[in-house]
């Protein structure tokens, strides 16, 4: 029996001025997006998330002679919308990848068929999980 274990690599990119601590917190929220799609971090799962900010406010001048660093970062009280966006974007990316997948042959000739879209949509509608 194939347990269906697999791995997901999640990359969270933002232009919000976040420090390492809050980028780490965004990574934790990405796993909620996996859970929303039915993933539960099984034993064989090797899921990872990394996050980075492109904001100029958090860049460090590597030529600086200063012994200290000062940055303008987003306050914790302002980060909830980013948490929600991370969860929703992760969920959406997983769903999109499933619906856009094509049949493939992988390692040792293992064949995986694409998701049957028409049948999947019918099942989702039948169980009230998809709007008409």
Active site residues: 7, 45, 47
Counting Cα atoms < 13 Å in the Cβ hemisphere of 102 gives 0
What is the C-alpha separation between 112 and 93, in angstroms, rounded? Answer: 19
Burial bucket for residue 45 (CB in 10 Å: 0-12, 13-18, 19+): middle
All residues at 6 or more sequence positions from 74 whose CB lies less than 8 Å from its CB, including other chains: 16, 17, 18, 22, 82
């Amino acid at each position: 029996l194939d347990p269906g274990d697999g791995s997901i690599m999640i990359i969270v990119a933002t232009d919000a001025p976040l420090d390492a601590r809050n980028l780490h917190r965004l990574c934790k929220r990405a796993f909620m997006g996996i859970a929303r799609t039915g993933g539960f971090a099984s034993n064989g799962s090797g899921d990872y998330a990394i996050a980075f900010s492109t904001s100029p406010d958090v860049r460090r001048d590597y030529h600086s002679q200063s012994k200290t660093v000062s940055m303008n970062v987003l306050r914790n009280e302002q980060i909830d919308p980013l948490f929600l966006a991370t969860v929703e974007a992760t969920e959406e990316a997983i769903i999109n990848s499933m619906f856009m997948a094509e049949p493939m042959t992988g390692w040792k000739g293992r064949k995986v068929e694409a998701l049957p879209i028409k049948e999947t949509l019918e099942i989702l509608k039948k169980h009230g999980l998809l709007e008409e």
